[in-house]
Amino acid sequence: MRVRRGFLIGLVAMLFLGVGVGIGVIALDFLDRRPATIVKAAFNADDVTYRDGRMQLYFDVTKLRECPSTTTRWLWTWVDYKGEELRLFMPLGVSFAGVTDVGEDRYLMSIEVPRGVWDGTWYYLARDVTQCGGMLSLLRNQVTETPSIEIKIKGTKAQPPAGVTPSKSPPRVRGAPIPNRSLILNGGEPLP
Neighbours of 113 (CB within 10 A): 21
Cα–Cα dist 134/124, whole Å: 31
Number of domains in the chain: 2
Is-contact 116 100, C-beta < 8 A?
no
Please tell me whether residues 120 and 61 are part of one structural domain: yes
Closest CA to 150 of 65, 47, 24: 47
Q: What is the mean pLDDT of residues 168-174?
A: 57
The mean pLDDT of the chain is 75
The whole domain housing 22 covers 1-31
User: Which CATH number is 69's domain given?
Assistant: 2.60.40.2060
What DSSP element (H or E) covers 39?
strand 37-44
38: confidence class by pLDDT, cuts 50, 70, 90 = confident
**pLDDT (0 to 100) of residue 29:** 61
Please tell me whether residues 137 and 109 are part of one structural domain: yes
| Residues contacting 44, CB < 8 A, separation 6+ | 55, 56, 57, 58, 124, 149, 150, 151, 152, 182, 183
* pLDDT digit string, tens, across residues 78-101: 888 888 888 889 999 888 776 777
**pLDDT (0 to 100) of residue 182:** 43
- Give this prediction's pTM: 0.68
Is-contact 129 141, C-beta < 8 A?
yes
What DSSP element (H or E) covers 10?
helix 2-31
Please tell me whether residues 14 and 40 are part of one structural domain: no
